[in-house]
Copies of this chain bind each other. A is one copy, B any other.
Amino acid sequence: MGLNEYDVIVIGSGPGGFTAAVRAAQLGAKAALIEKSLIGGTCLNFGCLPTKFLWQSLKIKQKIQKSYEYGFKANLEPVVFADIAARKDKAIAGIRKGMIAVLSSYDIDVIEGAASFKDRNTLAVLGAEKKEIFKVSADKIIIASGAIPSVIKGFVFDSGKIINSTDALNLKEMPANMLIVGGGAIGIEMATIFSGFGCCITLAECENCLLPNEDREVSEEIRRNLLRQGVEVLVSCSNALDQADKYEKVLIVTGRTPNSDLGLEKAGVKTIKRGFIETDEFCRTNVSNIYAVGDIAGKNLLAYAAQNEGAVAAENAIGKSSIAVDNSVIPQVVFSMPQSSSVKASDFLRYKDVIFGKFPFAASGRAFIENERAGFVKCAVDKTTKKPLAFWIVGSHSDELINIASQVIKSSAEQISRGSIFHPSFSESLFNAYEDAFDKCVELTKKSGN
């Protein structure tokens, strides 16, 4: 350690910051973690985890309601949404406690408050109303301050009628109806969950389809499933907010804005578009002792990408090696019902002679067993080398299955081996979709014309 109190200070305890702090401590550093809100950041407290808890409760509700499909008779008593929400809050508090135990086991100082740079080694920790409490210093600083829900001009989040995703996840009872503005991943998840618990949902997207950056077959399948669940879906709809008066709640989920209000100018840290911090492949900012990871660096805005960056930043700040982040193959998952996922080779667009295969879960024995026959696996293959290049999966378990696809693509495998996939599983549908690209899937009837 130099003249500073800590080897490293991490700002923000979300997936990126938490990983950075623990990894730094594992490498022998004396580390501190500054958090102005709840340990775990957006992911644990206002994002990935709470949505999945609610989604999982919905899934169980549907299973009970369809128990006759498995040979049972079960009666579900009226659902009290407050009970569902309470379970989520209790479980998240439990996970938070687990994270604090990890930090404590590594002797990482957790400092409550908001951080603001004084210079490139010094941070002021601010309490309420940004009143300075004290200063701390470190040789290396890793910024993992995350992002917050973006606002739309003219609309103010009031935690009452106009709400953001954090407010929505804190609801204790279901409103009669809700307009959700934004048909990306978060909008789709919220529409799925709240509609499942009895709220009339209108989901509005200004582009001409949901998930505009996703494969059209996937986006269309999600739209169909939402319609089936009773969600009103409006696309090419840029004026949804004109009708805001008609709804009890209006949830705006149109993107995320970086939490860059950190006095970055005092340390000379450069930001780019909309306040995200510029970083290189080693997670370094333009200031040599300062790193940035996760949402604040604006590269992926995904918890697992942030975790990867957090570990790399700590290794580079504390360790002896210089490691580049490899986030080249990153799966994307949306918790629609059923789930929807995709993953692509990083150079996918470079391939010119691509063929496609598709396998519907309706043809899967295992999907029959679980009564989860909706959806499909779609696979893109390089015609010449037979290398699988991309997978899209809509269907039950796709959030786990997509990780198989990630590994296949990551390894640049030149085929998928039948013998290495268990039968009967959902996973084998990836193999079947791959074989279908060559018209060689044995579990589908012959295509006409072949």
| A153 at interface, CB cutoff 8 A | no
* Distance in angstroms between the alpha carbons of A311 and B397 in the assembled complex: 27
Residues of B within 8 A of A377 (CB): none
Is A351 positioned at the interface, with any CB of B under 8 Å from its CB?
no
8 A-B pairs with CB atoms under 8 Å apart are A48-B423, A63-B63, A72-B76, A75-B77, A304-B422, A307-B423, A400-B401, A411-B411
Q: Mark A409-450, 1 if CB is under 8 A from B, else 0.
A: 011010001111111111110000000000110111110000
**Are A71 and B48 within 8 A (Cβ)?**
no
Contact A406 B423 (CB under 8 A): no
Q: Are B61 and A72 in contact (CB under 8 A)?
A: yes
Contact segment of A95-103, A174-182, A260-268: A95-103
- Fill in one digit per residue for A99-129: 1 if any B CB lies within 8 Å of its CB, else 0: 0011011100000000000000000000000
CB-based contact B410/A417 at 8 Å: yes
**A-B contact sample (16 more), CB < 8 A, given A19-B442, A325-B419:** A56-B70, A61-B72, A64-B64, A64-B74, A74-B76, A75-B77, A102-B443, A106-B445, A300-B419, A311-B442, A341-B422, A400-B404, A400-B422, A403-B421, A403-B425, A404-B407
Q: Enumerate chain B residues within 8 angstroms of A18, measured Cβ to Cβ.
A: 442
Q: What sequence of 0s and 1s flags, for each residue 369-380 of chain A, a beta carbon within 8 Å of any chain B beta carbon?
A: 110000000000
Q: How far is the CA of A387 from the CA of B400 in the complex (A)?
A: 22
Decide yes or no whether A333 CB sits under 8 A from chain B.
yes
B-contact bits for A191-211, CB 8 A (1 contact / 0 none): 000000000000000000000
Residues of A near any B CB (own CB < 8 A): 15, 18-19, 22-23, 25-26, 43-44, 48-49, 52-53, 56-57, 60-61, 63-64, 67, 69-77, 79-80, 83-84, 86-87, 91, 94-95, 98, 101-102, 104-106, 300, 302-305, 307-308, 311, 325-331, 333, 341, 343, 363, 365-366, 368-370, 397, 399-404, 406-408, 410-411, 413, 417-428, 439-440, 442-446
Question: Do residues B446 and A105 form an inter-chain contact, with CB atoms below 8 A?
Answer: yes
Q: Assess whether A71 is in contact with B57, with CB atoms less than 8 Å apart.
A: yes
Q: Contact at B403–A427, with CB atoms within 8 Å?
A: yes
Instruction: Contact check, B77 vs A73: say whether CB atoms are below 8 A apart.
Output: yes
Q: How far is the CA of A15 from the CA of B343 in the complex (A)?
A: 30
B369:A445 contact, CB within 8 angstroms:
no
- Taking the closest CB of chain B, its distance from the CB of A185, in whole angstroms, is 12
